[in-house]
Amino acid sequence: MSLFELLIIAVGLSMDAFAVAICKGLSMGKISIKKAGIVGLYFGTFQGGMPLIGYFLGVRFHDKITSMDHWIAFILLAFIGLNMIRESRNCECENEDDSIHNKSMNDSLSFKNMSVLAIATSIDALAIGVTFAFLKVNITPAVSFIGIVTFILSMIGVKIGNAFGNKCKSKAELIGGLILIFMGFKILLSHIGIINF
């Protein structure tokens, strides 16, 4: 997997965290680099850690399912992508009612609050780690890259949310979903020989 492909997947994966970071920024009265950094650190750490767990699970079972690994990678990426697109449509409905948003998000940066959000936004990355095992990706730079990209985008998300509100959240999840579906198709078509890039 090329660095560019990894960047595309990292951006796609980080869109969930980016969307929640926007909401976090929206809920904060006044933000600072420290607060944005804390949000980014939680999301980046979990987003980088989950693929590592998935990778070791995938390596364990890789030999048993090598003949269909590209189909599994495609199905996982497509499923995650479609789920993100569905969530983006739900966000559009929720954005019409600010009371829903206010109940679901607060400005707390406590370990409990941020850990729950970070786990919720990084579950998809667990499946990506399984996919990385099937594709024999060099996992250490891959998870580091995903963590760093998520860290940066989450910090930006906090700032955007604080400045502009909730309008960007659904668009971020929609774009992330489309990116992951595209990468799933690319992996599948490459393995069955239809494309060669």
Amino acid residing at 125 = A
Question: Regarding predicted confidence, which is higher, 101 or 66?
Answer: 66
Please name which of 80, 50, 70 lies closest in space to residue 143, comparing C-alpha atoms: 50
Q: What is the pTM of this model?
A: 0.70
Per-residue pLDDT tens for 109-163? 888 888 888 888 887 788 888 888 888 888 999 999 999 999 999 999 999 888 8
Per-residue model confidence (pLDDT) at position 66: 57
Stretch among 3-7, 44-48, 179-183 having the lowest mean pLDDT? 179-183
Average pLDDT for 181-191: 75
Per-residue model confidence (pLDDT) at position 48: 92
Amino acid residing at 191 = H
pLDDT, the chain, mean: 78
Q: Per-residue pLDDT for 175 more than 90?
A: no
Q: Which residues contact 169 (CB under 8 A, 6 or more apart)?
A: 19, 22, 23, 88, 91, 95, 161
Question: Regarding predicted confidence, which is higher, 187 or 130?
Answer: 130
Report the alpha-carbon distance of residue 171 to residue 159 in Å, rounded. Answer: 16
DSSP single-letter state for residue 64: G
Report the alpha-carbon distance of residue 191 to residue 183 in Å, rounded. Answer: 12
Per-residue model confidence (pLDDT) at position 94: 54
Indicate if the alpha-carbon torsion angle 167, 169, 174, 180 is positive or negative.
positive
